[in-house]
Each structure stands twice: as structure tokens, then as C-alpha cells.
Structure 1
Amino acid sequence: MRTIGLIGGMSWESSAEYYRILNQGVRDRLGPTASARCVLWSFDFAEIEALQHAGAWDGLTARMVDAARRLEACGAELLLLCTNMMHRIAPAVEAAVRVPLLHIADPTAERIKAAGFRKVGLLGTAFTMEHVFYKGRLAARHGLDVIVPGQDDRARIHRIIYEELVAGIVRAESREAYRAIMARLVEEGAEAIILGCTEIMLLVQPADSTVPLFDTTALHAEAAIEASLRD
């Protein structure tokens, strides 16, 4: 079993889900007392969130690279950046270490293609929905047609993530808002929806959508299990 390095704390609510999924997955495969071999670097998200909204990407990159190097020094043989949005600086992290970084978009796209879908809706922070680093990878590497909500809906999604989900707050009215937004994406032709923020799975479940949901948190962690156990 290879040691998995987790760059987490963005937020810890979803990092806890990564830890649960990794350990449950290894236990299911190897037996009731087995658990994942992993090391975690957990950020203070208040610091990260402030830098994100200030657009301080050089500072964010330096922090992610430092975390990756620390995990590598601790024996990590595979890295996970436990957040969709911070994959904007994934190339810098990959260049700074010798161990592989498993990009969160790739296992998600592979599962979508295996299910036979090509046109997908994307939910996430405004950074993820509006910048090319995520949509561009899905399109260029995987041939997916990605659509995002309109401006007002993007603002609502972003606000709920930062004001509620990262703080562990789950509100019924926010679930209804997400349901309505997903329905509008389906009306625009989305055959499936990507939950492109690692906290969204705390709010919505498959029953909240008329098309399949692809939870990046679960898919990323499951791909890490497979990579860790691969010969």
C-alpha cells in the first residue's frame, strides 16, 4: 500500500470526508482491521479563504507547494489536493515534488465518460465555474461539453459554499436553491451534474437531481485508493 498525502483543511469539513472514504474503502478491500496509510497537512482555512478572495495566487501557490513538499518529506508516495478550486495551481505543485499528484478532475471525467455522458453541468465556487483551469481540462483532456449556471446562480452557489457549507451549516432552503439551479442546467441540456466543490456533497444527494450527480470528493478519494493499492 502506497502512502497517500492529503493537502487538506480547505475546508476540514470535506477533508474529514476524504479521511472517512479512504479508510472505509481500504477496509472494504483488505479486511475489517485494515485502514489507509496516509499523512495529512491541514490548513487554517480562514487564512486560505482570505487569500483566495484577495486574488493572492502567488501566496496560495507558495503555501500549496510547501505543504506538498512537507508531505513528500513525510513519506507520501501519492498526493491529493483535497479541494477542486486549488487545482488552479496544480501544475506548480506537480513541478515542485517527485511524487505524482492525482488531479481531481480526471477520475470524475473518466467516470462520466464511462457512464456515456458528454454534456455536463458544473457546480462549484465562482473561481471553479468561471475560470478555465477546470472546465478547460474537462474539455481538452476528456472531450466533455461543460456548462455552468448563470451569473446570479453562480453567486448564490458561491455564497452558500463560503457562508454555510465550509462552516458545517446545512440549510433546507439552500438545498432547494441548489435543486432549482441543477434543474435549470438540465433544461439547458446537462446530462449529468458535477459537484465541483468538495463541500457540496454535504448539501445535495442523488435524490435532489433528475440527472446523475458526480461527487468529486468521493471519486477523487476512490481513485486514490485504487492508486495506493495498485502494484
Structure 2
Amino acid sequence: MRKLGLIGGMSWVSTRRYYEHLNTIVQRRVSPRSSAPLLIESLDFDGLYRIADEDGWKRAADTLTASAKRLVGAGAEGLIVCANSMHRAFRELEEAVDVPIIHIADCVAARMQADGVTNAALIGTRNVMTEGFYRRRLIERGITLLPPDMETVETVDRIIYEELMLGKATKNAERTLKSILTIKEKDGADAIVLACTELEMIVDTDANVLPVYDSTRIHAEAAADWMLGDIGDVKFSESTAT
């Protein structure tokens, strides 16, 4: 198996889920005693929390690229970033290292395209729902996304940052997300993209009327495929495609 580097800590809650998903897949597909060959750097999220300006994103990109270099230097043969919003710095990561980096939105888009989904609602943090760095990777695969509703954006962003990233999963948050997904269905969505790695804490992906694409699980499955030598329909960084 190839050795995978995880840039984590954003938040530690989702990084824990990545570790669980990856090892469960490897154990199932290799042997009951097998573990995933991983290198994990858990960053201090306090300095990367709710970035609101370009200077902040520049610091975040510098932090992530330094982490990527350390992981590659320690022997990582490929990388993933265990957070949706931090993929805003993906281009800087591509330029910083010479190993494959698996983009979370590309994995989700490939899965949706394979399933024939062409219309969906994107649910995540404010920057994921409103900025183009994530949305356009789905649109490039022929997936039409509902426009962001700012009331929903603010509600979901607050739940993610003030509850889920602290490890809190309340019944009220579950009810709120269930109501939001119901509204998105009425607005015309054929599927839901959980574009936040903590949202699986309060959304039962198997108990919804609409198909729910959980970015955490899909990203981990694509990373496991890569470790086991089956890259499937994942688009890697340009530096590794040549």
C-alpha cells in the first residue's frame, strides 16, 4: 500500500473520522489485521478558524504548504486535506509538493457524475457555499447547484463552527439540518452535498428522501482506493498527471 499523508486538525473531529474511515476500508479490503499506512499532521485550528480576508487565506496557505512539505519529507507518497474549506489553498499545495493531492470536491463530483446526478444543493461553511473554488469543480462535471440562500448559509456556518467543530452534536442541530434539507428538496434539488467534514455528525445520510453525498466518506474512499492502487475517476494535481 502507498503511504498517505493527512493534513488534519481542521477540525480534530473530522480528522478522527478520516482515520476511522480509512482504516475500516483497508481492514475490509486487505485483511482483518491490516491498518492504513498513514502520516498525520494535526494543525492548530485556532489560527485557521473562520478566515475572513485575503491576508488570512495567505497565512492559511503558508501553513498548509509547510505541513505538506513536512509530510512529504517524512515519507508521504500522496496527500489529502481533511477539510473542505481549506481546499481554497489547493493551488498553493499543488505548487509546493511533487506528490498526488486528492481534491475533495473532485471526488464528490466524480461520484455524482457516475450516479447521473445533475442538480444538487451544496451545504457547508460560508466560504464553501458562496465562493467559486469549490462550486466550480462540481459545475465542471455538469452538476447544476442551487444558489446559496444567505439565511441558510449563516445558520449552517454557525452550527459548524460553534458546535460541530467543538465535538457537539445536538438534537436541535439535527432538526435544523433536517429542515434545511427538506427545504432544498422543495427548491428543486435532486441531491445534497455535505461539503463540510463534520456534518455527518448530525445528518443521517441513509435516512433522507434525497440522496446525500457525504464529502468526508467519499474523500476517504477515494484516498483508500489510491493507497490500494485504484485511483478510479479522481483528478489529481497537475504536477502528478505529467
Question: Given the two structures, how large is their TM-score scaled by the length of structure 1?
Answer: 0.96
Q: Give the Cα separation in 2 of the matches to 1:216 and 1:91.
A: 19
Letter in 2 for 1:146: L
- Give 1:209 shift: 2.6
- Give 1:220 shift: 0.4
Superposition CA RMSD, Å: 1.2
| Match in the other structure for 2:214 | 215
- Give 1:206 shift: 2.4
Within 5 Å, give how 1:107-186 maps onto structure 2. Answer: 107-140=107-140, 142-186=141-185
| Match in the other structure for 2:8 | 8
Q: Give the Cα separation in 1 of the matches to 2:147 and 2:198.
A: 18
Q: Give the Cα separation in 2 of the matches to 1:218 and 1:207.
A: 13
Decide whether the 8 Å contact of 2:4 with 2:227 is kept in 1.
yes
Letter in 2 for 1:89: A
| Match in the other structure for 2:20 | 20
Q: Give the Cα separation in 2 of the matches to 1:53 and 1:9.
A: 19
Letter in 1 for 2:196: C
Decide whether the 8 Å contact of 2:2 with 2:228 is kept in 1.
yes
- Give 1:113 shift: 1.5
Identity of aligned residues (%): 38
Structure 2 regions of 5+ residues with no counterpart? 231-242
Q: If each structure's helix is expressed as a fraction of its own residues, which one has the higher value? A: 1
Within 5 Å, give how 1:35-114 maps onto structure 2. Answer: 35-49=35-49, 52-53=51-52, 55=54, 56-114=56-114
Letter in 1 for 2:129: M
Question: Given the two structures, how large is their TM-score scaled by the length of structure 2?
Answer: 0.92
Decide whether the 8 Å contact of 2:7 with 2:40 is kept in 1.
yes
Task: Report how many residues are paired.
Answer: 229
Query: Residues 169-223 of structure 1, C-alpha deviation per residue, up to 9 Å, x if partnerless?
Result: 1111111111111111111111110000000001111255310111000100110
Alignment CA distance shift 1:68-1:4 (3 Å): same
- Give 1:148 shift: 4.4
Decide whether the 8 Å contact of 1:129 with 1:135 is kept in 2.
yes
Decide whether the 8 Å contact of 2:69 with 2:97 is kept in 1.
yes
Q: Give the Cα separation in 1 of the matches to 2:200 and 2:184.
A: 18
| Match in the other structure for 1:204 | 203
Letter in 1 for 2:146: I
Decide whether the 8 Å contact of 1:23 with 1:36 is kept in 2.
yes
Alignment CA distance shift 1:203-1:156 (3 Å): same
Letter in 1 for 2:27: R
Runs of 4+ with deviation above 4 angstroms: none
Q: Give the Cα separation in 2 of the matches to 1:179 and 1:149.
A: 17
Decide whether the 8 Å contact of 2:109 with 2:137 is kept in 1.
no
Query: Residues 2-46 of structure 1, C-alpha deviation per residue, up to 9 Å, x if partnerless?
Result: 000000000000000000011111010111110100100101111
